């Protein structure tokens, strides 16, 4: 019997899911400071984001099968412990190279909070209720991308960039204690077969042959990859090119995040009477159009703050519809292996995001074009992937 998640569980799961956005967004205003203090080449700090995305992608492949075999609690506790220790290491990193390496392990631990919370929701909810739960989780975790850049900017100005990672370590430790005392097991493992590499690979192979799984995963992954490109490149575009003070960057970043949160709550209300696949069908057009507009602005030289922020806002806010519905549709027919399916979905999506973020840094040429081109390609690619692979499917409503 599927049970709706209580408010206290939603708050805890939202806080755990927020580990990713917090770890990414909180030190964005510190990019120029980190680059200067560690004597790093221009654009090199962006690779600490890429290493984080790689750790997120690989870690989820590990936690998914572990959580299906051994339950949700133990792998989650182990991941949070690793995240806390790696965050402490980041605080004392003497070079960008070592910081990037420690960020990999930080992500390797922190991703447990993403993949396993999705599995917990799927343990308790059907497809439509899952989409609503994911929308409500965005409300809880949505404070992270709104407040994180503001808090990060203040910490950099008053204390320094290293203290950001000390705060992240504290957050991880609090999460560890909260899970230990407040999150009971949701997955019955009594009838799970032994964990063997061959069976895990077979399960992943079966998912990769599922058109519904691939269609919704790739469409959602490409859309979110555009947002990760925005995360990687927006500090340079807004602070360096448009002259926004680092202290004000957090407000602009938070405005876009607020649009994401508000859109997710509208999505939750609409799901009471509307089809999640229909909502997703309409929502997928927005990142494609916003991405195209940003590309046009960059090539025409229309680098005004209102135009650029309008494109950023439209793209990011639309993901409040795309994310919950694409995730629920992806997991809808894989309830018994929710951990494995959630892991592969997250790994593929973070893999795509890693490429998008790395391309922004690799093509860095002192202009806004690399960021706009990557966001445009991701938005249009997401729309095409949904149209060709996922749109014909209509069996994930209940």
Give percent of the chain with pLDDT exceeding 90: 28
Instruction: Provide the residue range defining the domain that includes 140.
Output: 7-185+194-390
Q: Pick the most confident of 31-40, 41-50, 136-145, 275-284.
A: 275-284
Residues 201-249: pLDDT tens digits?
Answer: 888 888 888 888 888 999 999 999 998 899 888 888 888 888 888 767 7
Question: By C-alpha distance, which of 126, 129, 396, 142 is closest to 281?
Answer: 396
- Answer yes or no: is 2 within a domain: no
CATH number of the domain that residue 275 is part of = 1.20.1250.20
**pLDDT of the residue at 318:** 94
Mean pLDDT computed over 279-290: 94
Residues 348-374: pLDDT tens digits?
Answer: 887 888 788 888 877 878 888 999 999
**pLDDT of the residue at 294:** 94
In terms of DSSP H, where are the helices of the chain? 7-17, 19-25, 31-37, 46-70, 73-91, 96-110, 112-124, 127-141, 143-158, 162-182, 197-208, 211-235, 246-270, 276-283, 285-300, 305-331, 338-362, 369-385
Tell which wins on pLDDT, 70 or 281: 281
Tell which wins on pLDDT, 388 or 86: 86
| Cβ-contact 397, 128 below 8 angstroms | yes
CA 166 to CA 160: how far, in whole Å?
11
**pLDDT of the residue at 337:** 66
Mean pLDDT computed over 140-147: 70
pLDDT range class, residue 13, cuts 50, 70, 90: confident
**pLDDT of the residue at 145:** 67
Q: Is the pLDDT of residue 398 over 50?
A: no
Residue 160 φ then ψ, to 5°: 140, 165
Give percent of the chain with pLDDT exceeding 70: 89
**pLDDT of the residue at 384:** 93
**pLDDT of the residue at 243:** 85
Comparing 70-79, 178-187, 321-330, which segment has the lowest mean pLDDT?
178-187
Residues 236-257: pLDDT tens digits?
Answer: 888 888 888 876 777 888 888 8
Convert 96-129 to b/e letters by CB count within 10 Å (16 or more is b). Answer: beebbbbbbbbbbbbbbbbbbbbbbbbbbbebbb
- Answer yes or no: is 395 within a domain: no
Q: Is the pLDDT of residue 195 over 80?
A: no
Mean pLDDT computed over 302-321: 92
Number of separate domains in the chain: 1
pLDDT range class, residue 396, cuts 50, 70, 90: low
CA 396 to CA 328: how far, in whole Å?
8
CA 173 to CA 284: how far, in whole Å?
37
Tell which wins on pLDDT, 87 or 197: 87
Mean pLDDT computed over 324-351: 77
- Answer yes or no: is 397 within a domain: no
**pLDDT of the residue at 1:** 37
- Answer yes or no: is 82 within a domain: yes
Q: Which two tokens stand for residue 35?
A: 């680059």
CB atoms within 10 A of CB 68: 26
Residues 22-52: pLDDT tens digits?
Answer: 898 888 788 888 888 888 777 678 788 878 8
Mean pLDDT computed over 273-299: 91
Tell which wins on pLDDT, 330 or 219: 219
Question: By C-alpha distance, which of 388, 391, 380, 389 is closest to 287?
Answer: 380
**pLDDT of the residue at 378:** 96
CA 58 to CA 220: how far, in whole Å?
18
Question: By C-alpha distance, which of 250, 220, 237, 246 is closest to 329?
Answer: 220
- Answer yes or no: is 1 within a domain: no
Q: Is the pLDDT of residue 169 over 80?
A: yes
Residues 45-100: pLDDT tens digits?
Answer: 878 887 887 888 788 888 878 887 777 888 999 999 999 999 999 999 999 889 99
| Cβ-contact 347, 291 below 8 angstroms | no
**pLDDT of the residue at 171:** 94
Comparing 112-126, 222-236, 291-305, which segment has the lowest mean pLDDT?
112-126
Q: 336 in helix, strand or coil?
A: coil
Characterise 104 by phi-psi region: left (phi > 0), alpha (psi -120 to 50), beta (else).
alpha
CB atoms within 10 A of CB 279: 19
Mean pLDDT, the chain, integer: 84
**pLDDT of the residue at 379:** 96
């Amino acid at each position: 019997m599927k049970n709706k998640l209580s408010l206290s569980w939603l708050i805890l799961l939202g806080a755990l899911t927020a580990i990713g956005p917090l770890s990414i967004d909180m030190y964005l205003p510190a990019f120029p400071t980190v680059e200067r203090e560690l004597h790093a080449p221009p654009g090199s700090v962006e690779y600490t984001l890429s290493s984080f995305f790689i750790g997120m992608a690989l870690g989820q492949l590990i936690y998914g099968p572990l959580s299906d075999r051994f339950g949700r609690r133990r792998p989650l506790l182990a991941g949070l412990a690793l995240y806390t220790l790696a965050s402490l290491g980041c605080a004392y990193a003497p070079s960008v190279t070592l910081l990037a390496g420690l960020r990999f392990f930080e992500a390797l631990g922190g991703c447990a909070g993403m993949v396993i919370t999705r599995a917990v929701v799927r343990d308790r909810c059907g497809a439509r209720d899952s989409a609503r739960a994911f929308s409500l989780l965005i409300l809880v975790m949505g404070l992270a991308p709104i407040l994180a850049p503001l808090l990060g900017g203040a910490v950099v100005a008053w204390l320094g960039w290293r203290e950001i990672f000390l705060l992240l370590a504290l957050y991880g430790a609090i999460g560890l204690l909260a899970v230990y005392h407040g999150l009971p097991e949701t997955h019955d493992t009594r009838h799970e077969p032994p964990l063997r590499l061959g069976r895990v690979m077979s399960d992943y192979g079966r998912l990769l042959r599922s058109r519904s799984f691939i269609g919704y995963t790739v469409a959602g992954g490409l859309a979110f990859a555009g947002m990760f490109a925005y995360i990687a490149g927006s500090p340079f575009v807004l602070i360096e090119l448009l002259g926004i003070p680092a202290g004000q960057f957090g407000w602009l970043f938070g405005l876009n995040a607020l649009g994401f949160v508000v859109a997710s709550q509208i999505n939750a209300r609409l799901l009471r009477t509307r089809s999640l696949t229909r909502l997703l069908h309409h929502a997928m057009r927005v990142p494609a159009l916003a991405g195209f507009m940003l590309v046009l602005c960059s090539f025409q030289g229309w680098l005004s703050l209102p135009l650029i922020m309008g494109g950023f806002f439209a793209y990011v806010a639309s993901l409040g519809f795309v994310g919950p519905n694409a995730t629920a549709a992806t997991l809808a027919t894989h309830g018994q292996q929710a951990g494995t399916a959630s892991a592969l979905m997250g790994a593929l999506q973070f893999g795509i995001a890693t490429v998008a973020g790395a391309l922004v840094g690799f093509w860095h040429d002192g202009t806004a074009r690399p960021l706009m081109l990557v966001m445009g390609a991701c938005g249009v690619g997401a729309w095409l992937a949904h149209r060709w692979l996922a749109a014909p499917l209509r069996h994930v409503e209940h």
